[in-house]
A and B are shown apart, each in its own frame.
Chain A
Amino acid sequence: MLSRLKYDLTMAEAARGPGGARVDLLVVADMVQSGARALDVGCGDGELLRLLETRGVDGRGIELSREGVNECVAKGLAVVQGDADTDLADYPDDAFDFVILSQTLQATRQPRIVLEHMLRIGRHAIVSFPNFGHWNIRLQLLLGGHMPHTDNLPYAWYETPNIHFCSIKDFRQLCLLVGARMEEAVALNAWGRRMRLKMPWWFWNLFGEQAVFLLSRRG
């Protein structure tokens, strides 16, 4: 089920929410309970981990880039250098309450295996990703005849780290395939705002620029 908007944002606040945090990160953070243990896979410079820390979450991170890791550790965050594709296998079952993959799914080599590991390591998985079913992306391919560029996806096709794009519809199918239960889903529009009306899935797939899913293991 898609959640209803909890608060509305003005256009000026679109990219950054209260406290200056990225709205997609706030959406993710809202899904994590205080006191929980969370693993942020692909934690970048640690912005989400910091946000989670302020909310009483025991957060850990994995980050591929050396610069990102070193920046995080220098901030006092518990982050290891590693690769989502290869290193999740080293974590034991049920090690975390939440395993988060924020804007990283499309850059993994094996998204399905990564998602399966997330659901194994954590009781819940939270995945946010850019929706390749968005109307703007469809139009660029349909009418422009070129690989889409957006503010969120600025790379040229030959240098993009994003190798496994999917639409909201595609991701739902992957969830069904790996036996994940969709507990909550939130779509963000082109300004990074939560979309407010309750709508059918095809609508989100067309108008949501980003999506955030809260998943859990079935059974």
Chain B
Amino acid sequence: MVGTAATIDLADRRREADQPHSLTVRFGMSNPLRLDAGVDFAPMQIAYQTYGTLNPERSNAILVCHALTGDQHVVNTHPVTGKPGWWETMVGPGRPIDTERYFVICANVVGGCMGSSGPASTNPATGMPWGLDFPVITVRDMVRAQAMLLDHLGIESLFAVTGGSMGGMQVLQWAASYPQRVFAALPIAGATRHSAQNIAFHEVGRQAVMADPDWRAGRYFAEGTNPRRGLAVARMAAHITYLSDAALHRKFGRRFQDRDNPTFSFDADFQVESYLRHQGITFVERFDANSYLYLTRAMDYFDLAADYEGVVANAFRGAPTRFCVISFTSDWLFPTAESRAIVHALNAAGARVSFAEITTDKGHDAFLLDEPELFAIVRGFLDGAAKARGLRGSR
């Protein structure tokens, strides 16, 4: 596993972390990112992509917040994998998040590995990747960093913030931290806190990474190793939680992979095994193991109520933002009950809120997939909000 190929991968990974195929902005020592962990982090780099055109009033910007293993490459070819962007179905010309009407921004989260400061970035003090010396970050830190990016871009107020899963957490944090800067908020398959079950799944993933001898206590860049096996197992376990029993059954059933009979071995006899192995292998090509630890931790720490006297509604009191909360029937990782809790809090806070649950058997990942009802709702909600904001071209 360790060898020339892995070394090249690591070198590429470091290059993408420091000099990404993206727009970047660097914040110097005079403009640190104040972290929840009590650290003033500087210098800091944010890598981001934009699509569409900012209107002269600077009122049509939509911030897309990516999920745990997503990145800023929403609708362009991914620089590492060569695959299409992760939200091509939702964002683009004529799509629900229409880049002919809106200026779409997506930034790699702090702690990520695609060009924003994270554990794979070079620590200026040592000239080596930060590894576990990188401070632990939170969802609120991610949002603070995004706000710094918007300041840099001269965007005072966002037309909308949207995202799924960890992206949905960021959307809620945005509305709570910067209510005056968010006209419309669209959290999809999100939650106000990470549940015990979800923390437990994340812990399994982290332990898989850390149990890999190649992880080397997080110093694998320095030692020229790559904890591929651990990260792949973490991804395989996590991937199951993004799907549903029904979807797995529909896609794979108990069908065999390229064979008619079981081999009476531990080969990937079943299609579902082969699929998961593929998911694990492709993931390690594009993702940094330490980043995975940091970002799962950030999600675990997320608990909006904790910052507001234990009452989520307090986070949104007096917020002028209009909300549209969306969940999926078969999502058991961020189940509808979590979205309903968001809605209850928003109602209690007197916020303007819509809430739709979409019928699908595709599980948590449904927000990334072709779900016509989701597209119709996002489009309708944004149209209504655009009209209320007086955006030109509003229908």
CA distance A77 to B322 in the complex (A): 11
Question: Would you give the shortest CB distance from A25 to chain B, in whole angstroms?
Answer: 20
CA distance A90 to B348 in the complex (A): 6
Do A81 and B356 touch across chains, with their CB atoms under 8 A apart?
A: yes
B357 CB within 8 Å of chain A: yes
A161 CB within 8 Å of chain B: no
Do B355 and A80 touch across chains, with their CB atoms under 8 A apart?
A: yes
CA distance A82 to B352 in the complex (A): 15
- Interface flags for B245-272 (1: CB within 8 Å of A; 0: not) read 0000000000000000000000000000
Do A80 and B353 touch across chains, with their CB atoms under 8 A apart?
A: yes
CA distance A66 to B373 in the complex (A): 11
- Please give me the residue from chain A that is nearest to B381 by CB atom: A73
Do B387 and A70 touch across chains, with their CB atoms under 8 A apart?
A: no
Do B383 and A76 touch across chains, with their CB atoms under 8 A apart?
A: yes
Do B377 and A81 touch across chains, with their CB atoms under 8 A apart?
A: no
B216 CB within 8 Å of chain A: no
Chain A interface size range: 20 to 34
CA distance A74 to B385 in the complex (A): 11
Do A70 and B352 touch across chains, with their CB atoms under 8 A apart?
A: no
- Interface flags for A30-66 (1: CB within 8 Å of B; 0: not) read 0000000000000000000000000000101000001
A155 CB within 8 Å of chain B: no
Of the listed residues B322, B354, B373, B385, the one surrounded by the most CB atoms of chain A closer than 10 A to its CB is B354
Do A81 and B355 touch across chains, with their CB atoms under 8 A apart?
A: yes
- Please give me the residue from chain A that is nearest to B358 by CB atom: A70
Do A69 and B359 touch across chains, with their CB atoms under 8 A apart?
A: no
List residues 354-369 of chain B with CB under 8 A from any CB of chain A.
Answer: 354-359
Do A66 and B383 touch across chains, with their CB atoms under 8 A apart?
A: no
Do A69 and B355 touch across chains, with their CB atoms under 8 A apart?
A: yes
A95 CB within 8 Å of chain B: yes
Question: Would you give the shortest CB distance from B245 to chain A, in whole angstroms?
Answer: 21
- Please give me the residue from chain A that is nearest to B379 by CB atom: A74
B76 CB within 8 Å of chain A: no
Residues of A within 8 A of B318 (CB): none
Given contacts A70-B377, A73-B377, contact A78 B353 (CB under 8 A): yes
Residues of B within 8 A of A80 (CB): 325, 343, 347, 353-355
Given contacts A70-B373, A70-B377, contact A75 B384 (CB under 8 A): yes
Residues of B within 8 A of A91 (CB): 347-348
B350 CB within 8 Å of chain A: yes
Question: Would you give the shortest CB distance from A78 to chain B, in whole angstroms?
Answer: 5
List residues 67-98 of chain A with CB under 8 A from any CB of chain B.
Answer: 69-70, 72-82, 90-92, 95
Name B322's contact: one of A72, A78, A79 (CB within 8 Å).
A78
Do B353 and A76 touch across chains, with their CB atoms under 8 A apart?
A: no
Do A74 and B377 touch across chains, with their CB atoms under 8 A apart?
A: yes
Question: Would you give the shortest CB distance from A157 to chain B, in whole angstroms?
Answer: 29
Residues of A within 8 A of B343 (CB): 80, 82
Using a CB–CB cutoff of 8 Å, the interface residues on chain A facing chain B are: 58, 60, 66, 69-70, 72-82, 90-92, 95
25 contacts between A and B (CB under 8 A): A60-B352, A60-B353, A69-B356, A69-B357, A73-B324, A73-B355, A73-B356, A73-B381, A74-B376, A74-B379, A77-B354, A78-B352, A78-B353, A79-B354, A80-B325, A80-B353, A80-B354, A81-B355, A81-B356, A81-B357, A90-B344, A90-B348, A91-B348, A92-B347, A92-B350
19 new A-B contacts at CB < 8 Å, known A76-B380, A80-B347, A92-B350? A69-B356, A70-B373, A73-B354, A73-B356, A73-B377, A73-B380, A74-B377, A75-B384, A76-B383, A78-B322, A78-B352, A78-B353, A80-B325, A80-B354, A81-B355, A91-B348, A92-B347, A95-B347, A95-B350
Using a CB–CB cutoff of 8 Å, the interface residues on chain B facing chain A are: 322, 324-325, 343-344, 347-348, 350, 352-359, 373, 376-377, 379-381, 383-385, 387
